Amino acid sequence: MKLRTPLYVINVKTYEESTCRNASHIAKECESAALSKKASVVVCLEATDLRLSYKLKIPVFAQHVDAIEYGAHTGFTLPESVYCAGAKGTLLNHSEHKISLEVLKKSIERAKKVRLIVIACAANPAEAAIIAKLKPDFIAVEPPELIGGEVSVAEAKPDVISKTVKSAGKIPVLCGAGIKTKEDVKVALRLGAKGVLVASHIVKAMNPKKALESIIV
């Protein structure tokens, strides 16, 4: 599967508004916004909610997979299981779930082996340059100090975006952390990013569909 750009990746995390019986609602809101705007949207769900992928017309990603094979690995997330649940890809190395470079390398290899698209997260351009050598499908740069904040990376640290695009080489770059307006997205795209990651601005909105539609360019 090939994803169109600009790409809008909605990470629902484990907010109350997007878990349990609310997971279906937020996923449907993202789908509705994507269809109304003819936009390329991915929703990243908890492993327990990946089954919803079969009911959606937009791609669903896991929030994480582990670098394991079939076997005795209680409590881990097997890439094959994620794929069989209908997911098309996965996030890896998010700032809220950091893993070592060695584990990230194995995780990317395992995910790709089962045909999952990989978005590998980086905190800065230097980390992105290292991760690029592992050949994920996308690199998402998110300065941790701006995640969930009121000021976006596009406003506070636009150079992080442009420098990451340069350091990532041929790997397409997404950016996140505080993205909440159409202007944020326009700045990111102008600086070379191929899309954005958004979480709380969509998930916690009174009307998630309208919130997502409002940032689609």
Catalytic positions are: 94, 142
Which amino acid is located at 110 in the chain?
R
Place of tokens 């997007």: 18
CA distance linking residue 48 with residue 144, whole number of Å: 26
Question: In sequence order, what are the beta bridge partners of 198?
Answer: 10
Cβ pair 92, 108 in contact under 8 A: yes
